[in-house]
Structure 1
Amino acid sequence: MTLPLHGVKVVDLSTLLPGPLCTLLMAEAGADVIKIERPAGGDEMRSYVPKAGPDSVNFGMLNRGKRSTALDLKTEGGHAAALALIAQADVLVEQFRPGVMTRLGLGYDEVAARNPRIIYCSITGYGQNGPKADTAAHDINYLAETGMLALSAGSDGAPVLPPALIADIAGGTYPAIMNILLALRQRDLTGHGCQLDISMAEGLFTFMYWAMGQGTTGNGWPKAGAELVTGGTARYQIYRTSDDRYLAAAPLEERFWRNFTRVIGAPELASTDGLDPAVKERVAGLIASQTANVWVERFAGVDACTVRVIELEEALAEPHFVQRGLFDRKVRMPGGDIIAALPVPIADAMRVDAEVRDGPALGASLPGFVPDV
């Protein structure tokens, strides 16, 4: 089977999460991805814990199926070798601060002069220009500065720290891979490459469509704990059970709400919209009267969009995901350890079929290419 990115060569100058996950998606779809890493230590993610052998588990999961070469881009030999690889590439992915690649002599203009067909993807926090372009930040900073964090709140009203790196993946990786694929298609039509300016912060506004729509049309700016998806209704809530576990309930539609109120023993609430604080308090009290397992049994087979909140360890053993083979693929680490591969949103028909693929050892030689060390 010919994979969709078969024959596409990618040079990956990124580190940590957004860029490496983007190029992982391309590698899984058949692209030949070459990581250019620092000779001393390589990608910073290699040093993270936990480790499996000499390298981080995180690094292995994010770099399955890629190749690695070690180049000092500040030396004449390293720069020349990198430029030689880029000249043969279809895609370049980098996530330095704006201006760094130009100072290294590898900016878009320099690269495009050698390879006008290159898709040059730059991932940064705030984009290549603007007042915040050079500001150092991490995921939570982007969430804070785009209004998303303010709409999350705990019982004390303070914003809640998300357990996922939303800006890195949803604002960085996914827009990057989407635009790279669009640019490759555009190149098919025009014969020319382009530069892609991906801002992780800007990518978050897409997720705030409902909040922007509400606020910008004069319907009041949304508040934490007061809106449909921020805790303002009994129909979209996390409820504590008698054994201090939790149910995630989302019976938004009328038919689901009717089923939900019947199961909890309060059918009279079916005629309410769930917005009254008294209704939320009544439902919370009923849910708190039984254990989580009792509710799981009562909701079994009922269309009420209500489930138990489970730990990640339980989720990895959930029969549905296991039966669908979500965790079948593996990574062979440089030291020989075999770890689980990262599930990625690529259809099996579009993905490399190999169950086990290697995580690259730092500086592994490329056929016909002698890296600068």
Structure 2
Amino acid sequence: MLDRRIFEGVRVLDLTRVMSGPFCTAMMADLGAEIIKIELPGSGEEGRFFAPHVAGESTYFAMLNRGKKSVTVNMKSPDGIALIRDIAKTADVLVENFRPGVMERLGLGHAALQAQNSRLIYASISGFGQEGPYRDWPAFDLVVQAMSGLMHITGERDGRPTAVGESLADVTTGMFAAFGVASALYDREKTGTGRRVEVAMLDSLFSMLITALSRKLYTDKPVRRVGNRHPETYPVDSFATRDGDIVIVGFTDGLYRKICTVIGRPDLSADPRLATNIGRNAHEEELRSAIAQWAAGLGRDEAVAALRREDVTAAPVWSFEELLDSGHVEARGLVREGVNTKLGTIPLVGQPVRFHGAPGPDGPQRSPMVGEHTDEVLADILCLTSERIAALRAARAI
């Protein structure tokens, strides 16, 4: 059993807002890092205005900022910028997701801060990167889904391009940023020196489109929308039953033959036209019709049970309520207890990687109120007196 959490002793100066950056630093907070989140005095960061709200508190913000310390600093004030520079001297990691060039204009760029702290790992998250033709474009998740090609390949075959029903570009970028920071921390153990880490939302989402890229970069086949079926393999698709949808994954010849047995069509299994995936793709309509006819006569759970009896990979299409009621989320400990001053005990969903033998969080993680830890951090980390803190507050620097 380890006696410390993975990132215990790592201090992160968090200058991020909305989702991709906060998701990155939340993953680090889950593993024991001290996250000092800088927010605007009074209003806090933009994510606090995102719905849904309960008792005036954004539950979106609460989920993304678990386990962090909120410090309010006026970044338009020279004294405020000086405070951030002083905290950066003590930090192991800085994460920011301002538009390229903003941090340099504030005097908080990589070169300036690494000059005062050579061990600092400086992570920059942006929509399109620190250079390139779209460097200065504003980016939100929908913009990146649209430009990455993901929307173009998502949706029904004859329908309009469709966004994925979650902020996938933000989340994947946050994960890649956390991976980059962890890699840089490992590298620092060998070199003693920090480095800059740069992650762009478009790059992150583009790099995950493996099936589409393997088709586009290596063949002359068009990349297009195919609904719920796999673009290269059949039968991998969804089907309607009497009371809901199911998915079936028949990606090998053996699984295909088992599907034919389950649906009572041994003739399809013996048909030489369908013996290979190439043939099954060529005769997709015939296969889809046969499986759809079988599924339509059964209940959803009945159809899945029949397929699983033959060890065919299949599953029901669940709602969130069905997943939460399934017992799996509870068994895996995916939702845990947190705390907020206004909301009291709240549910939080942390990063899913398990480190066997490492301790988990010490009690419920806290979702902070705006500026809740300002005095504590300035006193403990910068050793400022209560009189100096009061003077900074009077000058509206904090």
**Residue type of the alignment partner of 1:53:** A
Partner of 1:366: 376
1:238 alignment partner in structure 2: 238
Shift of residue 340, structure 1, vs aligned partner: 1.1
**CA distance in 2: counterparts of 1:141 and 1:261, whole angstroms:** 42
Q: CA–CA distance in 1 between the matches of 2:267 and 2:64?
A: 51
Q: 1:362 deviation in Å?
A: 1.1
Shift of 1:355: 4.5
Shift of 1:6: 1.1
Aligned residue number for residue 348 of structure 2: 341
User: Which has the greater radius of gyration?
Assistant: 2
The whole-number CA distance in structure 1 between the counterparts of 2:142 and 2:191 is: 39
Q: Distance in 1 between matches of 2:318 and 2:214?
A: 33
Structure 1 partner of 2:312: 304
Given the alignment of the two structures, is residue 182 of structure 1 paired with residue 192 of structure 2, yes or no? no
Equivalent position SS for 2:38: strand
What CA distance in whole angstroms lies between the structure 2 residues aligned with 1:222 and 1:248? 22
* Offset, 1:302: 3.6
Deviation at 1:333, TM superposition (A): 1.3
- 2:256 corresponds to which residue? 257
Q: 1:216 to 1:50 in 2, by over 3 A?
A: closer
Aligned equivalents of 1:134 and 1:304: distance in 2? Answer: 49
After alignment, is 17-26 or 214-223 more displaced? 214-223
TM-score when scaled to structure 1? Answer: 0.92
Indicate yes or no: 2:83 matched with 1:81. Answer: yes
User: Partner of 1:207 in structure 2?
Assistant: 208
Contact 2:338 2:364 in 1 (8 A): yes
Choose which of 328, 337, 343 in structure 2 pairs with 1:330: 337
Matched to 1:352, the amino acid is G
What's 2:119 paired with?
A: 117
CA contact (8 A) 2:157 2:225 kept: no
Match for 1:330: what amino acid?
E
Structure 1 residue 29: Cα displacement: 0.7
Please tell me whether the aligned partners of residues 20 and 62 of structure 1 are also in contact (alpha carbons under 8 angstroms): yes
What stretches of structure 1 of length at least 5 have no aligned partner?
A: none
If each structure's helix is expressed as a fraction of its own residues, which one has the higher value?
2
CA distance in 2, matches of 1:161, 1:119: 34
8 Å Cα contact 1:117/1:193 also seen in 2: yes
Distance 1:301 1:124 in 2: 48
Q: Tell me how large the CA RMSD over aligned residues is.
A: 2.1
Give the distance between the partners of 1:54 and 1:363, measured in 2 at CA: 16
Helix, strand or coil at the partner of 2:294: helix
Q: What is the alpha-carbon distance in structure 2 between the residues aligned to residue 150 and residue 233 of structure 1?
A: 19
1:136 corresponds in structure 2 to: 138
Evaluate the alpha carbon distance shift between residue 122 and residue 363 of structure 1 in structure 2; reply closer, same or farther with a 3 A threshold. same
- Note if contact 1:211-1:221 (Cα within 8 Å) is conserved in structure 2: no
Moved over 6 A (4+): none
Distance 1:330 1:110, change over 3 A: same
State the shift of 1:18 in Å: 0.7
